[in-house]
Amino acid sequence: MIYDLRTYTCRPGTIKKHMKLYEDHGWKVQSKHLGYPVVYGAVETGDVNSYVHVWMYEDAADRAAKRQKLQADPEWKEYLAKSAEAGYLVSQENKILVAAPFFDPIHEKKGEG
């Protein structure tokens, strides 16, 4: 498994507007192509103008294939245009993470501890 950790920063005072724009125009199409994220949330401490989402993929090829389909979807292109027009985002940082060898995100420990 790999994880795509994405951190976006909005102009001060616009994060709620941006999240609403995404909820209304981006969430459905993005989750249709990428699946349900591991995490999608606003930052509570530190840079409170930021939000983070983490997507899980089988490997780099799975990520590339899913993201290619997303980028080709006219509904996603429409959302990106609306987002650019709104101008709420000021930066984006992406990191690809690999799980530690002892971490299994699919199975929970049962009866241990």
| Domain residue ranges in the chain | 2-98
pLDDT of 104 > 70? The answer is yes
Say whether domain 2-98 belongs to CATH 3.30.70.100.
Answer: yes
Q: What is the pLDDT of residues 84-103, one digit of tens each?
A: 999 999 999 999 999 888 88
Q: How confident is the model at residue 113 (pLDDT cuts 50, 70, 90)?
A: very low
**CA distances (Å), origin 2, targets 58, 67, 85, 109:** 6, 14, 32, 21
Q: pTM to 2 decimals? A: 0.85
Helices (H), the chain: 15-25, 27-34, 60-72, 74-86
CB atoms closer than 10 angstroms to residue 7: 16
Residue 94 bridge partners (DSSP): 6
Q: How confident is the model at residue 5 (pLDDT cuts 50, 70, 90)?
A: very high
Question: What mean pLDDT comes out for the span 22-28?
Answer: 97
Q: What is the pLDDT of residues 28-78, one digit of tens each?
A: 999 999 999 999 999 999 889 999 999 999 999 999 999 999 999 999 999
Integer Cα distance of 53 and 34 in angstroms: 12
Report the sign of the C-alpha dihedral through residues 100, 105, 111, 113, in that order. Answer: positive
